[in-house]
């Protein structure tokens, strides 16, 4: 059983990457190279932090009860499906977590060509956001960045949002600077925002570079 995960970063509370208040785990590494993916720093499989499933389960279990879900982003969560699946099994033994994941692979591809770990994780998800970010199809959509990406509600835990528009961007001040999270409704958000902040002498927190037009 896989007992560790390579992680880029985590955040314990957001309202813009899935229904309700959620924790987010950004896994490290993606085998795809979508033009326009504006978080290239997350694509290598090395250079992150190795966390054990036990450690991450303990962290999630210690979050307040209003945090009702966890979202797996990246990087490519399916590349670490075994560890994430073990994590879901572990945390759901104590609390009925809503689980959402992004994948650059389509659901059809995962169902047809997926390995057992992919299928196991897929079967645990409440929501899958599938498909790669396609810059030419950037759109103002709920929780995703381009029109080819789809929301799959795999259980009846959540209903599709009544309107399909951006969930917005969260800004917060951290000890490391300004952090932003979300899926920008306009292309080029990251470059513009971070340039504007730096021009004003405001530091961008490293963890802010996780969310971008790719829909993460
Ligand atoms: S957009 Fe998503 S699937 Fe594509 S390279 Fe970036 S992280 Fe990977």
Whether 188 maps to a domain, the answer reads: no
Task: Output the CA torsion 58→179→47→27 (10° steps).
Answer: 50
* 172 inside domain: no
| Domain membership flag for residue 154 | yes
Residue 46 is assigned to a structural domain of this protein: yes
Q: What's the CA-to-centroid distance between 134 and ligand 1, angstroms?
A: 9
pLDDT in tens, 42-96: 899 999 999 999 999 999 999 999 999 999 998 999 999 999 999 999 999 999 9
Model confidence at 211, in pLDDT bands (50, 70, 90)?
very low
User: For residue 97, what are the domain limits?
Assistant: 4-164
In a domain, 213, yes or no: no
- pLDDT for 206 equals 64
CB 59 within 8 A of CB 10: yes
Ligand 1 centre distance from Cα of residue 94 (Å): 32
What average pLDDT does this structure show over 132-140?
93
Residue 153 lies in a domain: yes
Residue 22 lies in a domain: yes
pLDDT (tens digit per residue) in 151-170: 999 999 999 998 899 999 99
Give the residues surrounding ligand 1 with Cβ less than 6 Å away. Answer: 30, 32-34, 37, 43, 74-76, 104, 132-133, 214
Is residue 155 within 8 A of residue 124, CB to CB? The reply is no
Q: Does the pLDDT of residue 210 top 90, yes or no?
A: no
Ligand 1 centroid from CA 128, angstroms: 15
Between 35 and 120, whose confidence is greater?
120
Q: What are the angstrom distances between the C-alpha of 26 and each of 29, 147, 198?
A: 9, 22, 24
- The answer to whether residue 215 is domain-embedded is no
User: Do 14 and 70 contact (CB within 8 A), yes or no?
Assistant: no
Mutate to test the pocket of ligand 1, among 133, 134, 150, 210 (most ligand atoms within 8 A of CB): 133
What CATH number is given to the structural domain containing 11? 3.20.20.70
Task: Provide the mean pLDDT of the chain.
Answer: 92
The sign one gets for the Cα dihedral 68, 151, 166, 184 is positive
Identify the H or E element spanning 90.
helix 81-92
pTM confidence score? 0.94
CB 49 within 8 A of CB 33: no
Q: Which atom of ligand 1 is nearest to the CA of 105?
A: 3
Cα–Cα distance list, 173 to 65, 75, 208 (Å): 23, 24, 10
Task: Name the residue at shortest CA distance from atom 7 of ligand 1.
Answer: 75
Count of domains in the chain? 1
């Amino acid at each position: 059983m896989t007992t560790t995960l390579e992680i880029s970063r985590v955040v314990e509370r957001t309202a813009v990457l899935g229904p309700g208040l959620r924790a987010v785990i950004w896994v490290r590494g993606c085998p795809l190279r979508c033009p326009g993916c504006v978080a290239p720093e997350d694509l290598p499989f090395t250079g992150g932090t190795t966390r054990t499933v036990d450690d991450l389960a303990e962290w999630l279990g210690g979050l307040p009860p209003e945090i009702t879900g966890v979202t797996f982003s990246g990087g490519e969560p399916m590349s670490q499906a075994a560890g994430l699946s073990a994590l879901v099994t572990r945390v759901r033994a104590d609390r009925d977590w809503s689980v959402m994941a992004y994948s650059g692979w389509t659901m059809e591809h995962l169902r047809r060509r997926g390995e057992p770990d992919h299928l196991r994780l897929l079967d645990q998800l409440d929501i899958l956001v599938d498909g790669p970010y396609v810059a030419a199809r950037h759109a103002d959509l709920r929780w995703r960045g381009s029109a080819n990406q789809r929301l799959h509600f795999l259980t009846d835990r959540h209903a599709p949002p009544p309107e399909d528009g951006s969930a917005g961007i969260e800004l917060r001040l951290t000890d490391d600077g300004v952090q932003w999270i979300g899926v920008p409704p306009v292309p080029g958000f990251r470059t513009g925002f971070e340039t504007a902040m730096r021009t004003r002498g405001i530091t961008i927190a490293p963890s802010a570079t996780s969310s971008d037009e790719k829909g993460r």
